[in-house]
Structure 1
Amino acid sequence: MFQDLDASLSALITEAGAPPELRAAEVSFRTPDKDFHPTPATMNFFLHGVQENRTLHSSVPLVDRVGENFVTAPAPIRVDCTYLVTAWSGQNGDLRVAEEHKLLGAALGWLARFPVLNDERLVGSLRTPPQIYPVTTQVATLRTDESFAHFWSALGVPPRPGFSVTVTLTPPPVPDPEPLSPVRHVSVEAASREFPAFVGRVLDAALTAVPGATVSVLEKNIATVSDQRGRFRFTALDFGDYTVKVQAPAHSDFQQPVRYRATGQIHHMVLPAP
């Protein structure tokens, strides 16, 4: 993933519309330490920070359709990849400073034109499969003077002018998404606080209606029979805890405890597979 991001930035710097001084420069991703002394003019992109972007974190899972079914996967993390961009010249004295500043300014102006890197500007695994979310960039959002003093000191190099480029990527999702069955229909059940009733449906293991099932409330010794849609209903029943027994053709007898309340009047009975 990171090597393809390097290649994408390198292609962006050298594409036809870029400033000519950028197109003529070399592009390096090496650590700019005391042993880094490029002879030709060079733009260096040093990847020094990779961290999750918690602001863009989402708890909403990804859902995709595959044939007649759906698959779901946890939302992937968003990762900020931050580069330190510096310019390097092989010339001496003021000529070196002038060339480096010219390159640095051209790079800053050019990269700032691309707040989003579209698919055509992405390479390898960043392009195929395509990124789930847009690949965004932020230019010169970090201070590279005082905050980078320790960085240059650790590398044994005098401080240099530079700016940051942060690219936000989405790593590939988990390889084994969870399959989901498609929604065939939506059923809306209503309940009334003024005229409460203990209602529900008798369903088999495939969630198909079971008509003609005998539904009994054992504690009250009352029973009814489910209709063609598997529905049953008890009206003259006080709120309380009960045991419901279901007897249906081709199914074993089934019992389930229920808590019948004003806020819990609907209780479906799902029979186990034979």
Structure 2
Amino acid sequence: MIHEIDEGVRLLLTESGLTESGVDLVFDPPTREWAARRNAPTISVFLYDIKEDVERRRTGRLEEYDDTGRIVAYRTPPRWFDLTYLVTAWTNRPQDEHRLLSEVLRCLARTDVLPARLHTGTLLQLGLAVPIEVAGGAQQGRSAGDVWSALGGELKAAIDLKVLAPLAGEPIDAAPPVTEGLRVRVAPTAGDTSADPGRRLRYDGTDDPGPHGFAGPRDRPEPTRRHRGPVR
């Protein structure tokens, strides 16, 4: 799921035209060594925090159907995770970095959810909305100062991008449909070698169970109405 969110964010920023002027878009951690090797204007989208939104956790299971409407599998509900990115711009001049950050902020601020056309893999299969929060208020978890200290670099202007992403549940195969009616056989007594063919309950004498098998609905005669006299 994480790599699918990466791809969606990359496509979103690419559609805005940021990379058309020779700007590189990478997901590398902006360490001191990385910054020294950089040789072109660059936007770094660094994933630095992953936390589950436990309030969205659900129990139970979801049903999956084939084209005929038959249940083919079950799946546990998706679990939701906050993916937080540190978005920074890197050039030789602070003014150019701020210009790039302004373009990134313009692109992200007008998007409340990751567009469905940018969903791939399991995101596309789930068909759920993926909310985006840009430069929000107080973030739970690591602060920007902690991130920069861990990276070994100096604090600089950055945009916090938080994406709420669903992780698809685990699939569970469904049992095959019922194709035969319930049959009762009598256990043979000692010395009895005859094979008891058994008796099919409810559907005795039915050769064609129909498209739904023996589990489908059956036409039954209306029950006989009983007349009840006055209670004395």
Partner SS state of residue 173, structure 1: coil
Secondary structure at the counterpart of residue 103 of structure 1: helix
Distance 1:21 1:134, change over 3 A: closer
User: 5+ residue gaps in structure 2?
Assistant: 179-199, 204-221, 224-232
Q: TM-score, normalised by structure 1?
A: 0.56
Q: How has the CA–CA distance of structure 1 residues 115 and 208 changed in structure 2, closer, same or farther, with 3 Å as cutoff?
A: farther
Specify which of 77, 80, 83 is matched with residue 79 of structure 2: 77
1:154 and 2:150 are equivalent in the alignment: yes
> 1:161–1:65: structure 2 CA closer, same or farther, 3 Å change rule?
same
Q: Aligned residue for 2:215?
A: none
Provide the C-alpha distance between the structure 2 equivalents of 1:32 and 1:99, rounded to a whole number of angstroms.
Answer: 17
The unaligned stretches of length 5 or more in structure 1 are 183-205, 210-227, 230-274
The alpha carbon displacement at 1:65 in A equals 2.6
Query: What is the aligned partner in structure 1 of residue 9 from structure 2?
Result: 9
* Conserved? CA contact 1:72–1:180, under 8 Å: no
Distance 1:106 1:4 in 2: 23
1:117 to 89, 114, 117: 114
Q: Does 70-79 or 24-33 show the bigger shift?
A: 70-79
Please state if 1:42 is matched with 2:42. Answer: yes
Contact persistence 1:142–1:163 (CA under 8 A):
no
Q: Against the structure 1 CA distance between its residues 23 and 133, is the aligned structure 2 distance closer, same or farther, given a 3 Å change threshold?
A: same
- Higher helix fraction (1 or 2): 2
Moved over 4 A (4+): 177-182, 206-209
Structure 1 residue 179 displacement after superposition: 4.9
Between 1 and 2, higher relative CO (CA 8 Å, sep ≥ 6) is seen in 2
2:94 maps to amino acid: V
User: CA RMSD for the aligned pairs?
Assistant: 3.1
The Cα shift of 1:59 comes to: 2.9
Partner of 2:95: 98
* Contact 2:77/2:169, CA 8 A, preserved across alignment: yes
Task: Measure how far apart 1:181 and its partner are.
Answer: 7.5
Where does residue 232 of structure 1 map in the other structure?
none
Aligned residue for 1:28? 26
What letter is aligned with 1:57?
A: R
The code of the aligned residue for 1:161 comes to A
Given that 1:73 and 1:178 are in contact with CA atoms closer than 8 Å, whether structure 2 keeps it comes out as: no
Alpha-carbon distance in structure 2 between the residues aligned to 1:118 and 1:21: 18
Greater strand proportion: 1
For residues 137 and 41 of structure 1, do their structure 2 counterparts lie closer, same or farther at Cα, with a shift above 3 Å needed? same
Normalised by the length of structure 2, the TM-score is: 0.65
- Per-residue deviation, 1:125: 4.7
Q: What is the deviation of 1:178?
A: 4.3
In 2 relative to 1, CA 169–180 (structure 1 residues): closer, same or farther, beyond 3 Å? farther
* CA deviation profile, 1:214-242 (whole Å, cap 9, x unmatched): xxxxxxxxxxxxxx87xxxxxxxxxxxxx
Query: Which AA in structure 2 matches 1:83?
Result: Y
Change over 3 Å in CA distance of 1:21–1:76 after alignment to 2: closer
Q: Which has the larger radius of gyration?
A: 1
What are the within-5 Å matches in structure 2 for residues 225-236 of structure 1?
A: none
Structure-1 separation of matches of 2:69 and 2:121: 30
Tell me the residue number matched to 1:139.
Answer: 134
Corresponding pairs, count: 178
Q: Is the 8 A contact 2:122 2:168 kept in 1?
A: no
Q: How far 1:118 moved relative to its partner?
A: 2.6
